[in-house]
Amino acid sequence: MNAAARPSLLPGWWRRNRGWLAGSVLLGALAFYLPWRDSRAERARSTPSHRINADNTGWSDYEGSGWRIAGVEFEPGAGKAVADYPHAPGSLLLVHYQVTPGREATGKLLDRCRGRLVDAAGRRWPANEPYKLGRRLRDRGFNDSCGTRPGESFVRIEASPGQAFDFSHAFLLPAGTRPEGLRAEIFFPPSTTTPHGSYLSFPLPPSAR
């Protein structure tokens, strides 16, 4: 019998083996998907990665409390001798926040919050860093902690549920950087938020420009 006349075995082969073929495709897909999902979950536990866009005009809910930007000050050229080395004067940006703690929020829990400023190019400035910047902010009478502030006799005053509490974040920006397009962000340790890695991101209000 010549090859042309021989009936093709392939359709039958595919039919007979369709069970394990389908299983292999499924396992192959899972072999890629599961590590990717684990790595994504691990990243979410360690890095702020789930952005919650804040309402620029009112209060935004994040981790059971309400948050808003109460005011922004931009001071070009005021960032002198702030870094740990001699540098040309930069600009200072102060973001004044208010938080209304939820029922389960305590001052100590809120104090775990951190802040940063980001721009569209991905540059990041952690709040109140370098150290001298945080000190300068406190010297000007602003509170730099999200849930407590200094009180009398070294006893810290805690934010109370339902009552607005003020705190501020300061940032040192390179000379020439404008506030347009910057976003101020608040985040808790990523493994403690729901979902993991959630953070609150505010566009700077027009008053900063």
Is residue 166 within 8 A of residue 157, CB to CB? The reply is: no
Among 174, 181, 195, 206, which residue interacts with another protein (rule: CB under 8 A)? 174
Q: Least distance (Å) from another protein to the CB of residue 160?
A: 34
DSSP character string of 76-134: EEEE-S-SSS----EEEEEEEEEEE--TT--HHHHTT-EEEEE-TT--EEETT-SHHHH
Is 122 a binding residue for another protein by CB under 8 A? The answer is yes
Per CB under 8 A, the segment of 42-50, 51-59, 144-152, 171-179 that binds another protein is: 171-179
Phi/psi-derived region of residue 199, left when phi > 0, alpha when psi is between -120 and 50, beta in every other case: beta
Residues 68-97 that bind another protein (CB under 8 A): 82-88, 90
Q: How many angstroms separate the CA atoms of 4 and 9, rounded?
A: 12
Q: Where are the alpha helices (DSSP H) in the chain?
A: 10-16, 18-46, 107-110, 131-139
Nearer CB in complex with another protein: 71/89: 89
Cβ neighbourhood burial of 53 (10 Å; 0-12, 13-18, 19+)? exposed
Nearer CB in complex with another protein: 83/157: 83
Per CB under 8 A, the segment of 44-52, 135-143, 150-158, 166-174 that binds another protein is: 166-174
> What number of chain residues touch another protein (CB under 8 A)?
19
Residue 199: strand, helix, or coil: strand
Q: Least distance (Å) from another protein to the CB of residue 102?
A: 31
Among 130, 150, 151, 206, which residue interacts with another protein (rule: CB under 8 A)? 130
Is 125 a binding residue for another protein by CB under 8 A? The answer is yes
Is 67 a binding residue for another protein by CB under 8 A? The answer is no
Nearer CB in complex with another protein: 51/66: 51
